Structure 1
């Protein structure tokens, strides 16, 4: 699982990076602008944003990301204890909020809760009959086992993570490929076709003119 950490307190940042890197891949920055660039260049599974940073604030950053249909789950960390910041954080699209000072174990529990809610654990139960191991790209549908290609695995993870809405071809292309490697929409259609063979057509719905939705 990949985490983007935005935290300008150097001491706390070092502590958090050391802690998180025991289990996750972590990219850290002190800058809101750099965080925005990183979010455009890479696909992350979780954002952990400080509210107050020197060149802006995490709430404004998340609002901008959400305006681009970036639904990556987000935890805010802050020294503010005023409830207006709590309200602003959730209105911007935050999924959780933790106040400084906090125990690392508490942060770990909040991350685990996000993972359960958004299906970010390695082994995901897609349906009562279908399980998907994101680490080894292994899909089990009843008695049938399939090993997915990397892009097929990435596409399935993205559709499942965003299963509450329709995802367009363009959105998947932008989130799964580097800009200079981006193929045409035919690549997505080919991947979806292969996934339907393994999953069953009923689990990836084609919404005409809009994109795909996992069910």
Structure 2
């Protein structure tokens, strides 16, 4: 899940960014309304966490501009403006949620998961391919009934592969959807993570599901079921 965090308080932004990254989310940060609009227009995000009192355009104006450009990314307002009039305005403008500062980080994570269930999974909670099963809600993976322990980043990689089963996914597409927009293309971190993922998913089983397309990327092959 790719999240754009728009927050001008840099310490708070760093705290939220690190916390969400530890949960396996791909987080990009903007400290102003104008930069947020540029990023949302040039990159596809699954969720925008948007402060209201930010430099440039305020959060309300950013939301209006996004909708004018037909960018329908779900938005959660995060703001110290906690009067009912501000909450009502934010929701009436089309935000899916409104979190008051200060907030409990566990609450923020729960609200992000709620958006993920409503807008990303399209009521699909389990992906199954050749006895490899990934539970998108519980974030658990099994193969032939045996649990497979994955890191949060490995889970995101496997989910991406399974959602695109039998289609080769390039390294650049993986970086765009799993890592930050400022990722160093010269790094071998994708290869390292994919090597670890293949060891965990395929080692010890008769059939290898994940394959490397030399010079291009990776794919997982098999018949996919969505439950």
| TM-score tier after normalising by the smaller chain length | 0.5 to 0.7
Structure (1/2) with the larger helix percentage:
1
- Say whether the 8 Å CA contact 1:138–1:148 is kept in structure 2: no
Equivalent in the alignment of 1:21: 21
Q: Does 1 or 2 have the higher relative contact order (CA < 8 Å, sep 6+)? A: 2
1:208 aligns with none
CA contact (8 A) 2:161 2:169 kept: no
Q: CA deviation at 1:119?
A: 2.5
What is the Cα-based RMSD across aligned positions, in Å? Answer: 2.9
How many corresponding residue pairs?
144
Residues 134 and 6 from structure 1, CA distance in 2 versus in 1: closer, same or farther, beyond 3 angstroms?
A: same
Q: Pick from 155, 160, 173 the counterpart of residue 135 of structure 1.
A: 160
**1:85 CA drift (Å):** 0.9
Q: Residues 138 and 50 of structure 1: is their aligned pair in 2 closer, same or farther, counting only changes over 3 Å?
A: closer
What corresponds to 1:84 in structure 2? 85
- Which residue number corresponds to residue 39 of structure 1? 40
TM-score if structure 1 supplies the norm length? Answer: 0.60
Q: Taking structure 2 as the reference length, what is the TM-score of the superposition? A: 0.57
1:91–1:138: structure 2 CA closer, same or farther, 3 Å change rule?
A: closer
> After the TM superposition, which residues 102-117 of structure 1 pair with which residues of structure 2 at under 5 Å, given as runs?
102-117=103-118
Deviations 1:29-67 (A, max 9, x none): 111000011111111111000011122211110111112
Q: Structure 1 runs of 4+ off > 6 angstroms?
A: none
| Distance (whole Å) between structure 1 residues aligned to residue 125 and residue 43 of structure 2 | 22
Q: Distance in 1 between matches of 2:32 and 2:125?
A: 33
After superposition, give the CA deviation of every residue in 1:53-104 in whole Å (9 maximum; x if it has no partner): 1222111101111122211111100001111111111122100110001011
Residue 137 of structure 1 contacts residue 148 of structure 1 at CA under 8 Å; is this kept in 2? no
Gaps of 5+ in 2: 128-133, 137-157, 174-222
> How far is the alpha carbon of 1:13 from its aligned partner?
0.9
Distance, in Å, in 2 between the alignment partners of 1:36 and 1:124 is 31
